[in-house]
Chains A and B, each alone.
Chain A
Amino acid sequence: MVENIQPADTPPNRALRLTFEYEGSSVRLVSSQTVDMILPPSHPLEARENETGFWFTLADAAGKPVYRRIVQNPIRLDREVFSQDPKKSIHRLDQPKPKGSFVVLVPDVAPARTLILFSHPLELKSAAAPARELRRFNLSELEKKQ
């Protein structure tokens, strides 16, 4: 029998599972759960100048970022369409009235005070514009959703 196996001594990690709904440019938080789980490591905390795309940042009381993840824009301004034709297996089409739901996972760490969503302006013609603050949520506000 195996006598000497020592499991990895990794401390448990906690995360917040935040569920949002959006319609047009309106984004609202609908639920928050505290979950024991590991998250991928942070991307570089500071965005490059004029960086495009979508990301979310956790910031401390002084506004200093403590965690940042770059993700695909979860607010779907377009849709991806697939075909079995190998020459045109994927393309996109506009989604004029975006509406849906998405989840953001952030570490539940003591210094974090604010969650900030960054995105390009929510219209397809601005998809290459630099990302800017889209919405900001106080973590105390998130706790009320638990």
Chain B
Amino acid sequence: MSTADGNVIGTTQVVDHGPASQRWNLVILSDGYQQNQLPQFHNDVQSFIATLFQTPPFDELACAINVFRIDVASTDSGADDPAACGGTGATARTYFDASFCNSGIQRLLEVNDATVHSVVNAQMPQAHMIMVIVNSPVYGGSGGGVATFSLAAGANEIALHEMGHTAFGFADEYEYFAGCGSGEAGHDHYTGGEPSQPNVTANTNRATLKWRDLVQTATPLPTTSNANCAQCDPQGNPLPAATVGAYEGAFYNHCGAYRPQFNCRMRSLGNPYCAVCQRVIRQTITPFMDSWTWGTNTLGPGQSQRWWLWWPGYPGFEGIGVQPATPGGEIRFEIPGMQMNADGSTTYFLTVTNVSSFAVQWHFRGGAL
């Protein structure tokens, strides 16, 4: 139930897209994995990475992101699962003290975040985002400074939602606190000032709405209104799903607070991030990218492509694998020919070869000139 119940094995960089000092660094730790189960943790990390890099807009930002894995072995496997919440009654001696049934809620799976921060500070202090995977098939997770999630189907979504809070400062877009139909009081109408979070607002003025540039002229503002503020708005989306507007019901209030799209991962799990959230993620991550990337292509195992590129100067660039995220030399990039042109431009003749045994998605990337 404490750091006496295991030990920190070490840190491994599992996605290497550049120096940690220049990239956005995600750190994932294990809890409830015994020493001989750590290979399973490695697979679980790879599974989450695959999910992350298939999730817009992270799919286009992968080159800015490194992922580090901190292997922590626990004495026991799993997590505490108290019978008081309908669990098995199991107790597990784990390094970060993972437990379900916090505050009497079975799905509320938490770890000791102070211990997690202590380990990360020692092992990988360049972390921008910290997650803990708990070795349990029971669905659960939690957020805060450390996103925690289990191995149950769909629990990856908890991590993506919590990353929205922790790394990008998103508010919740759901329009209730305890739940629609819970009889909750004090959540009928938002009466506060403008929320600082980028994805909710109390303002429906077209001229000053904070995501006004994403709202088409024909889209009404507010886009939907809740006819009965004593309850959640039961109406469906009257507009195409991608429409950005100001939908009433957000930030734990049935009325008076608005969200940018009808649905978003910050409103309910399993949805994509809305356009406003995606833009904020891009704005946050883009400074961690090289100056530019260009031209995403896929090469099968052993395949080669020949390219010529014309450039109005003398650039620095290379070809680099993007997917799969695992690092390591799958793409061989050669410049067998180069020609300086009379107008000062340069023409490059390139060969790009996938030397691995699997398909690789790659693109060009370059630095500042």
Shortest A99–chain B CB gap in Å is 9
Beyond A4-B335, A84-B139, A89-B269, whether A100 also contacts B113 by CB under 8 A is yes
Given A19-B117, A38-B21, A91 and B179 contact (CB-CB distance below 8 Å): yes
- B198 CB, min distance to chain A CBs, angstroms: 8
Choose among A13, A41, A76 the residue that contacts B144 (Cβ–Cβ < 8 A). Answer: A76
A7 in the interface (beta carbon within 8 A): yes
Q: Are B114 and A79 in contact (CB under 8 A)?
A: no
B172 neighbours in A (Cβ, 8 Å): 80, 90, 92
Chain B contact residues: helix, strand, loop or mixed: loop
Listed residue (B144, B196, B284) with the most chain A CB atoms within 10 angstroms of its CB: B196
Tell which of A8, A19, A31, A130 touches B291, judged by Cβ atoms closer than 8 Å: A8
Closest to B122 in A: A33
> How many residues from A make CB contacts under 8 Å with B?
64
Residues of B113-167 contacting chain A, CB below 8 A: 113-114, 117-118, 121, 125-126, 128, 139-145, 152-155, 157-158, 161-162, 165-166
Asked, given contacts A5-B318, A41-B287, A105-B128, whether A92 binds B252 with beta carbons under 8 Å apart, the answer is: yes
Inter-chain contact A17/B121, CB cutoff 8 Å? yes
- Nearest B residue to A80 via CB reads B143
Quick one: given A2-B333, A38-B287, A48-B194, are A103 and B117 in contact (CB under 8 Å)?
yes
Contact of A82 among B23, B158, B169 (CB under 8 A): B158
**Interchain CA distance A129-B152 in the complex, whole Å:** 38
Which 9 pairs show the lowest CB-CB distances between chains A and B? A128-B192, A6-B316, A8-B367, A53-B196, A50-B193, A101-B114, A89-B269, A36-B21, A72-B165
Provide a sorted-by-A list of 8 A–B residue pairs whose CB atoms are within 8 angstroms. A4-B314, A36-B126, A55-B196, A72-B166, A89-B157, A90-B172, A92-B178, A102-B145
